[in-house]
Chains A and B, each alone.
Chain A
Amino acid sequence: MRAYFALPSLLQASLLLVLLAAPALNSARANSLEVDLAKPDVRLDVSFKGSELLLFGAKDLAGDIIVVVRGPRKDTSVRFKERIMGVWVATDEVIFAQTPAFYALASSRPIADLLPLSVLKKEKIGTEHLNLDVADKPDGINAARVKEFFAGLLRNMARKNLYTLEPGQINLVGNQLFRTDLWFPANVVVGDYAIDTYMIANGRIKSKRTTQLRVHKVGLEAQVYDFAHEQALLYGLLAIIIAVMSGWTANLVFKKRG
């Protein structure tokens, strides 16, 4: 694992130097912000058990930094359980449209100190400001009730470590450099991620950069997944053949032992 990181960190160190030099040379250009990742993608291989990804960058202002990571979006259903005659039953269902499958947040200072609420809402910084559209809900459910469903959604996603409710730390190195470790848990969803980096000064967003990140399976994981999806019938039959062979083998082994 160490060796694997050695090369990127070398690259990243030199990149940091370049980035550091660039705004210094070109200080006339205002509000410059540069962002990069230690690796261009998150690779899910057989040994994957969650992965840390270094995000680093340089800025030419003595401002703060907020980083927001958003995963691929899909409609997500939240159901409410209530007790009916002693038994817990899932009853009402609210479906939130285009819910990100992953949401992580990091900041160099408490976010409430950096930006006014209106800006946080507009940029959807913080899970509480996701402001998801409701794709479907039971008739006669009011906005306050939908909010409770939304809070339930956030709790569930946080429990799965897919949403960070409390922002992570961004370290500022001097006035111009910053870095943070983004954590992708083992149950991370495959797809295209967008990382927004904001440079903040005096309660305003001075600059914003969006970095794309691909989370994908590689090697055996990708092969098995593709096979299961592209040749489903063959895959199913093969699964049975494996099962039959192993059952048979176990029996032979035990027969010999008596």
Chain B
Amino acid sequence: MQIYLPIAEVSVNIFLILGMGGGIGFLSGLFGVGGGFLMTPLLIFIGIPPAVAVGTEANQIVASSISGVLAHWKRGNVDVKMGVMLLIGGVIGSSLGVWLFTFLKTLGQIDLVIKLSYVAFLGIIGTLMLIESLNAMRRAKKAAPSKLHHHIFLHALPFKMRFRRSKLYVSALLPIGVGAVVGILAAIMGVGGGFVMIPAMIYLLGMPTAVVVGTSLFQIIFVTANVTVLQAVNNFSVDVMLAVLLLIGAVIGAQFGAKAGAKLKGEQLRILLALMVIGVCIKIGLDLTLTPDDLYVLDTATGGH
């Protein structure tokens, strides 16, 4: 069954969109990522204009994150205090990021630099995470209890705060800093940054994996809600009809994802997440290196919509 989308100005298959929403929603509930980095290319692949894909995707993530966060809330896996700190950092970071992006753009070839550093970044994070979680799994089998996290110089920073859900007593500057760095990345890359945020929360902040997923989703709600409004006002690129179709699938998928996540151990979840991060890294790498079908491309950014 086809439906014509008023903003995207293309005709799409309803069931295809519902299915895509469901799949991405599942990953979202499972890992605490928004899923924009997967959904946006998928939408573009089926013919949605890139600007509309980005704007609409943000709107859908709001829905799947809320669905996911509520499911995690029931299990006490959302650290609101930590989420707010990350968010404060995120707002600062994304404002800086937008400014940085505009500046870098004047230097030319910024897209390439970003993509290359992204590939390197994801490759390193994914690999380290995979090694760490595999080790953790081996250690767990030997049943030797290890420390929750290592105490490094970062924990000597001032403004210490107690984060009960995360079982942490650290400086508020730490989550704000992490949020800011991810915010900069998110603004430059045009993605929510969930899968950069999550490794940072696990390894830099030392939060328990289960709490990380719920808290990340909490934070993503606000980031993507902000993006939705900005895209709607500046680019008119939010297609409500497409968003509704996507989010029907996504909110249901997120519930199943959260349920599946509750059955997994922390290190198992981290292995899967690491594999996904590596997968995204490979995908972007291939996009950059595989010979395109046509060497001449239409620049859709100058579409004038």
Contact = CB atoms under 8 A, between A and B. Distances in A.
B298 interface: yes
B88 interface: no
A75 B302 contact: yes
Contacts of A159: 294
Interface residues of B, number: 58
29 contacts: A45-B4, A49-B2, A49-B4, A50-B11, A77-B298, A80-B296, A86-B289, A89-B112, A152-B295, A187-B11, A228-B6, A235-B240, A236-B228, A236-B229, A236-B232, A236-B233, A236-B238, A237-B229, A239-B232, A239-B238, A239-B240, A242-B240, A243-B59, A244-B63, A247-B254, A248-B66, A248-B70, A251-B255, A254-B71
A237 B296 CA distance: 38
Given A236-B238, A246-B63, A254-B71, A46 B4 contact: yes
Contact of A186 (B11, B238, B292): B11
Nearest to B12: A186
Given A47-B4, A78-B299, A81-B292, A232 B62 contact: no
Q: Chain B: interface secondary structure? A: helix
Contacts of B109: 89
Interface string A73-107: 01111111111001111100101000000000000
A210 to B, nearest CB: 25
Given A217-B6, A239-B240, A242-B240, 12 more contacts: A46-B3, A153-B296, A187-B9, A220-B6, A232-B233, A232-B236, A233-B229, A243-B62, A247-B65, A248-B70, A254-B255, A255-B74
B106 to A, nearest CB: 16
Q: Which residue among A148, A156, A242 has the maximum number of chain B CB atoms within 10 Å of its CB?
A: A242
B243 interface: yes
A1 interface: no
B67 A250 contact: yes
Interface string B230-257: 1111001010110110011001101100
Interface in A143-174: 148-149, 151-153, 155-157, 159
B304 interface: yes
B27 to A, nearest CB: 16
B87 to A, nearest CB: 16
B47 to A, nearest CB: 7
Contacts of B4: 44-49, 186, 221
Contact of A221 (B2, B6, B111, B116): B6
A192 B4 CA distance: 20
Interface of A: 44-50, 74-83, 86-90, 93, 95, 148-149, 151-153, 155-157, 159, 186-187, 189-190, 217, 220-222, 224-225, 228-229, 232-233, 235-240, 242-244, 246-251, 254-255
B140 interface: no
Interface in B141-166: none
Contact of B241 (A80, A93, A224, A237): A224
B215 interface: no
A148 B233 CA distance: 38
Nearest to A252: B70
B63 A243 contact: yes
A75 to B, nearest CB: 7
